[in-house]
Each structure stands twice: as structure tokens, then as C-alpha cells.
Structure 1
């Protein structure tokens, strides 16, 4: 049983996803002129859900192992090798990356605001509603 329920853990997993996505987008933008560089993207929840839907059975034998019995996150970075936009073999679309970066920053800030709200509520309860 979790002290805070699943909400804090879900927000934490989502923040981790947003951080990895931000790093990946920044890496793509930094390599926009690198010959033969292929853009990377980040997948979240759908990776784990796909595996679990295939009848994926797990047994947790160590506290350091992932707990698949609760809602967990799976963040995976993949490379898009199916296209080339530039003459040098690079497939980074800087306009798309900048748009994704702006969306991700808004998403991240919304998560931070939500987790701050959760902690403020807990703090209020601990202080007796004052």
C-alpha cells in the first residue's frame, strides 16, 4: 500500500517521461546538421501496455525489480530510420522538434503544478486545515 496512493507515483513517472523527452528533443535539435543523424523519439506507457497485453507474466523476486502488478511506466527512446529530409542523410525536422519542445514544456509545467497542488493539500491536512 502506498502512503500517497498512486497519484504521486503517476505524476513522478510522467515527470520522468517529460524529462527524457526534453533531453531527446534537445539532442535532435543539437544534431540538426550532423550527417546521417537519425531523429529519436520517446515512447511511454504504450510500450508496457503492449507487452502486458501479449500475456506477459512477471514475478518480482527482488525489491529492485520493476513491480508489474501496479501501473508502471516504461520510457523507451527509439530511432526513426525510415526517412531522410536533408541531402546529408539527416532526418531531423527542426520545426517539428521546436513544436514538440514547446508542447513538452507546457506538459512538464502542468505536471509540476499538479504535484505542487498535491503536496500543498497534504501540507494543509498535516497542519489541521490551516
Structure 2
């Protein structure tokens, strides 16, 4: 019996869900600070993250408290944050354009739901395969 490779079966969708979740936090923070003077709107470089451009940079090793612990490292998303260039800058220095942020938030939510739906159908298919249906 051959083993199932979840990486091959699921593709980039698990990673995409994590990045889209983080992006929704960033976009919500932008919207929440729409009236904060000198606040600079930020966004994630989603395509860059998914291409792995940030994996070679800004890695942090997690400390092991025992030699039997599995070594691990994490990628910081901070390096993937970019400042958004406003089309109409505000007098107070705030670069949040609420309509653009809300549109980006809605689009991100739809793309999150698409990946989630895809993963759900993949898991249903894998479950049927494991039960030999």
C-alpha cells in the first residue's frame, strides 16, 4: 500500500490559508486606524510569500530546552509587509484609503474561502479513499 503525501495532495492551500489569515489581520488593522494621524497602511506581499521569496530571509530558530526536542524554525511575516502607496494621501499623513482596504479585505476573504473549500473537498476525497469507497 502506498503512503499518501499530504503535501502533494493539498498543494499550497494550507500555506495559503495561513497567509490569508495573517493578511486579514493586517487589513483589519489598517481599517481600524483609518482616522489615526500618520498611520501608514500596510499589506502582505502574498505572491512573494507563496513563491518562497521570504523563506531565505528572516528565519528565526526556536530554542530547544532539551536535546531530544525536535529543532524548529519560523519565518517572520514582518519582512513581507509592505507600505501601501495611497492614490490620495491625507493631510494628516494617514495613508489608509478605507474603500481600497475594504475591497482588499473582501477579496482576501473570498480567496480564503476558496482555499478552504478546496481543502475541504480534498479531505473528503482522501477520507473516501482511506475507507476504500
C-alpha displacement of 1:78: 2.2
* Equivalent in 110, 122, 129 of residue 126 of structure 2: 122
Aligned partner of 2:6 in structure 1 is 4
SS at match of 1:41: strand
Residues 86 and 96, structure 2, Cα contact 8 Å, conserved in 1: no
Unpaired runs of 5+ residues, structure 1, are: 57-61, 67-72
1:1-130 to 2 correspondences below 5 Å: 3-8=5-10, 10-46=12-48, 48-49=52-53, 63-65=71-73, 75=77, 76-80=80-84, 85-129=89-133
Q: Stretches of 4+ moved more than 4 A in 1?
A: 81-84
Q: TM-score, normalised by structure 1?
A: 0.73
C-alpha displacement of 1:2: 7.2
Cα RMSD after superposing both structures: 3.1
Which of 73-82 and 104-113 deviates more? 73-82
Q: TM-score, normalised by structure 2?
A: 0.72
The size of the alignment, in residue pairs, is 116
Partner Cα separation in structure 1 for residue 4 and residue 76 of structure 2:
20
Cα distance, 1:7–1:88 mapped onto 2, change above 3 Å = farther
C-alpha displacement of 1:65: 3.6
Greater fraction of residues in strand: 2
C-alpha displacement of 1:29: 0.2
Unpaired runs of 5+ residues, structure 2, are: 58-69
